[in-house]
A and B are shown apart, each in its own frame.
Chain A
Amino acid sequence: MAQSVLIVDDEPNIVLSLEFILRQAGFDVRLASNGDEALQAIREELPQVILLDVMMPRRNGYDVCRTIRQNPDWQGIHIIMLTAKGRDIEREKGMAMGADEYVTKPFSPREVLERVKRFFAGQPA
């Protein structure tokens, strides 16, 4: 099965770097710029990893995360929250909503790549 990653973020400037670096590493990358698009993309084809931003209009990342976790068919998806919400309470909320990992912006894209690679290598990050 192809190693597919779904990037969910409404900021094109960050998506630019993430998409480039992940494609270079050989992953199959899809994009969604808001929560509804993300859920649609998941329904079309299950990704294995989702890089999920929180601050998005209409449906925020917490909502998307919780919705994914509530769906029994989507349990295996590894969710890495990438977000500008840096406070400890926000991290806690993210983990409580079912995120597997939580990375605050600004971050090094290399670090994100490492985390994705680690997941696919079978070790939890």
Chain B
Amino acid sequence: MRLNLFTKLLFGTLAACGVGVLAASIWLLAVWDEARLDGLSGVIILAGLGCGLALVLVAATSWAWHHRAVERPLKTLERQVHTLRHTGVGEVSPPDAHALGALPDEVAALGRELVAARRDIVAAMAGATERADQQRSRLEAVLFVLAQGVVVCSLDHRILLYNKAARNLLGQPEALGLGRSLFNLIRREAVEHALEGLTPDPRDPGKPPTMKTAPIVCGTTDGRRLLSGALTAIVEPDRGLTGYVVVFSDKSQEIAELAERDALILGATEGLRAPIANLRAAAETVSAHPEMKADERQSFDRVILEEATDLSKRLERVSLQQQRLAPGHWPMAEVYSADLISGLARRLAEDAGIVVSMVGIPLWITCDSHTVMRALRALILHLHRHSGEREFDVEMLLGDRRVYLDVVWHGRPVPLRLLDEWLQEHLPEVVGCETIGQALELHGTEPWSEERGPDRAVLRIAFHAPSTPARAPREEEIPERPEFYDFDLAHQHEAYAGQADRLLSDLHYVVFDTETTGLNPSGGDEIISIAGVRIVNGRLLSNETFERLVNPNRPIPASSIRFHGITDEMVKGRPPIDIVLPQFKDFVGDAVLVAHNAAFDMKFLRLKEGRVNLQFDNPVLDTLLLSVFLHSDTPEHSLDAIARRFDVEISGRHTALGDSLATAEVFLRLLRLLETRDIHTLGQALEATDSLVEVRRQQARF
């Protein structure tokens, strides 16, 4: 029964009793005469009157007090708790006068704890979500970077997750997508067979399957690749098998090479039995029968000659095959020379205070980087002790089938005998080879030393170039930016009167390139990437580069993405041009700026000058115009064409840094050609190219 009803009943009854007694007393008083009641009765009646009155009074005051001290506070408490529970805010404040004892304070405390607990839950959830996000980012990073393909599928073979390597290895990108069936890409038999071994036996569900991971070899549905790897079941504690993960790599090349290697060995052993038999038989017979007649002898001689020549030819074939397969068995990877050399430079700087500068465009080589780094370090230490030099340049050059790593220093070449001694030196910390020579032999190479110019020497080590380019070149021909002419750029030489006499060979250059949202500098297009590389004393310092992505504060048109590969996502958190341009200016300093079709890039830079309160007043040289000046007989002056002419290898084309490096290499060669055309100073170079601007503009009209 509810409290207020009960209290109402209680006090009501009490009051009713009082009223009843009162009424009875009054009635008795009224009928006293008739009832001839005596004095005692009179007292009783009086008492009754008094009692009744008292009862009513007590009931009334009790009820009033109860209402004020219990009922109303309870109601307030009820309302406040209700509010707190349902809105999460509010406080429980006990009223001043109440008879509820400690209850209101306790409830208030409970209320505060509830609010605090809820806050903690929200914070904990946010923390947990953040950690989960972090873990997911890490996992994504791991998956992204794995050379092996990873695909996670649901039980019904729908793809839940895959990484970049998987996309490359599986081919058929149009069939690959989340939620789509794995069997659009790889053949089902191998996967189903592997799963069978991992699924719990339906006849005996309690028994766990014997294997968690099964090896798998399967072909892609387009028949182009053979993939080899492992399939692992995803088993959740209460739900059993919910999906699986496949990790795989491309084995087709490896398997083909193994087969070839086997054939090679067989051919070099069993395949030689017949020719050697013929040769030996003839030689032995001739030797044992000196009395042989002349014409018989002639037949035998012919056999000996034929078989010997045949054996010779077989040897050449086998040798060629062996050279081609040679790097096979040792764990080699495609290594970017910049990474290798910067690691080497650090070690040598720490160990012996030797300064190694990276020169030229970095290239990819096939090697075991740990072994090579150790060997190079040992050799450079020897060079240092032998020559007394502390500074070495390391340059990568591309040959026909080889990539040369040249260590250059001021001095004389190393005598070969000494070099051979160094190669015999034991190489610690490298498993599988004893000596420096063996470490290099592993890479199918042996080093030598020769002169490089009047008083410089080189130690040359030739590596195998990667058989498959690590960065696949884009197959389509990406068109060049159209030539852009800014008449303001011409006649610059008047402004640089002071510098006009400086020798080209003395100047510092920064060769740079920008990527933009489009081809219209004054029409709202913005810079999204800017990169530069420094040339000092005719050397391209490839470890002094500038490279920044820039937030253009406008959307990047989808049509331009195929030229530069930069998406809105990639520039999202990046600083805007207001921040990057001053940084670039710092990098440039007062060097001469060089770019291909420089008018285009300079226009973008100049348009932003006002905003960032900077001035790019450096002299500017344009490799496009220099090429036109030097090779006026050909119409081909795109960066690609010029690079081809000079045999400059470009990797990472259409990134600002890649293009800067390519332009820099091209520029170095153009500089040398300029000298032969009697152009030695900056002023002369600028004059030569200025006149071309107008001509070119006219030509472009047609």
A interface residues with partner B (beta carbon < 8 Å): 59-60, 62-63, 66, 86-90, 92-93, 96-97, 106, 108
B388 within 8 Å of A (CB atoms): no
Q: How many residues of B contact A (CB 8 A)?
A: 22
| Bound Cα distance A63, B417 (Å) | 7
Residues in B neighbouring A87, C-beta threshold 8 A: 319, 323, 444
Q: In whole Å, how far is A112's beta carbon from the nearest beta carbon of chain B?
A: 14
Decide if B402 touches A89 in the complex (CB within 8 Å): yes
| Bound Cα distance A89, B316 (Å) | 15
Decide if A93 touches B446 in the complex (CB within 8 Å): yes
B312 within 8 Å of A (CB atoms): yes
Q: Nearest 8 pairs between A and B by C-beta?
A: A63-B416, A106-B312, A93-B448, A62-B416, A96-B450, A89-B445, A63-B417, A86-B319
Decide if B323 touches A59 in the complex (CB within 8 Å): no
Residues in B neighbouring A60, C-beta threshold 8 A: 416, 420
Residue from the list B311, B315, B417, B444 in contact with A89, Cβ < 8 A: B444
Residues in A neighbouring B312, C-beta threshold 8 A: 106
| Bound Cα distance A93, B309 (Å) | 27
Residues in A neighbouring B401, C-beta threshold 8 A: 88
Measured CB to CB, the nearest residue on chain A to B447 is A93
Known: A60-B416, A63-B416, A63-B417. A96 touches B448 (CB 8 A): yes
| Bound Cα distance A87, B316 (Å) | 10
| Bound Cα distance A16, B444 (Å) | 33
Decide if A97 touches B417 in the complex (CB within 8 Å): no
Q: In whole Å, how far is A36's beta carbon from the nearest beta carbon of chain B?
A: 12
B460 within 8 Å of A (CB atoms): yes
Measured CB to CB, the nearest residue on chain A to B399 is A92
24 contacts between A and B (CB under 8 A): A60-B416, A62-B416, A63-B415, A63-B416, A66-B415, A66-B416, A86-B316, A86-B319, A87-B323, A87-B444, A88-B323, A89-B402, A89-B444, A89-B445, A89-B462, A92-B402, A92-B462, A93-B448, A97-B416, A97-B448, A106-B311, A106-B312, A106-B315, A108-B309
Residues in A neighbouring B420, C-beta threshold 8 A: 60
B interface residues with partner A (beta carbon < 8 Å): 308-309, 311-312, 315-316, 319, 323, 401-402, 413, 415-417, 420, 444-446, 448, 450, 460, 462
Residues in A neighbouring B402, C-beta threshold 8 A: 88-89, 92
| Bound Cα distance A88, B323 (Å) | 9
| Bound Cα distance A25, B416 (Å) | 35
Q: In whole Å, how far is A53's beta carbon from the nearest beta carbon of chain B?
A: 15
Measured CB to CB, the nearest residue on chain B to A65 is B416
Q: In whole Å, how far is A61's beta carbon from the nearest beta carbon of chain B?
A: 10
Residues in A neighbouring B417, C-beta threshold 8 A: 59, 63
Measured CB to CB, the nearest residue on chain A to B311 is A106
Measured CB to CB, the nearest residue on chain A to B450 is A96
| Bound Cα distance A117, B618 (Å) | 62
Measured CB to CB, the nearest residue on chain B to A85 is B446
Name 20 extra pairs, CB < 8 A, besides A86-B316, A89-B462: A59-B417, A60-B416, A63-B415, A66-B413, A66-B415, A86-B319, A87-B319, A87-B323, A88-B323, A89-B446, A90-B446, A92-B402, A92-B462, A93-B448, A96-B448, A96-B460, A97-B416, A97-B448, A106-B308, A106-B315
| Bound Cα distance A97, B462 (Å) | 15
Residues in A neighbouring B315, C-beta threshold 8 A: 106
Residues in B neighbouring A86, C-beta threshold 8 A: 316, 319
Residues in B neighbouring A62, C-beta threshold 8 A: 416, 448
Residues in A neighbouring B445, C-beta threshold 8 A: 89
Measured CB to CB, the nearest residue on chain B to A87 is B323
Q: In whole Å, how far is A38's beta carbon from the nearest beta carbon of chain B?
A: 14
Of residues A88, A89, A90, A92, which shows the largest number of chain B Cβ atoms within 10 Å of its Cβ?
A: A89
Residues in A neighbouring B416, C-beta threshold 8 A: 60, 62-63, 66, 97
Residues in B neighbouring A108, C-beta threshold 8 A: 309
Decide if B446 touches A97 in the complex (CB within 8 Å): no
Residues in B neighbouring A93, C-beta threshold 8 A: 446, 448
Residues in B neighbouring A88, C-beta threshold 8 A: 323, 401-402
| Bound Cα distance A88, B316 (Å) | 12
Residues in B neighbouring A66, C-beta threshold 8 A: 413, 415-416
Residues in B neighbouring A97, C-beta threshold 8 A: 416, 448, 450
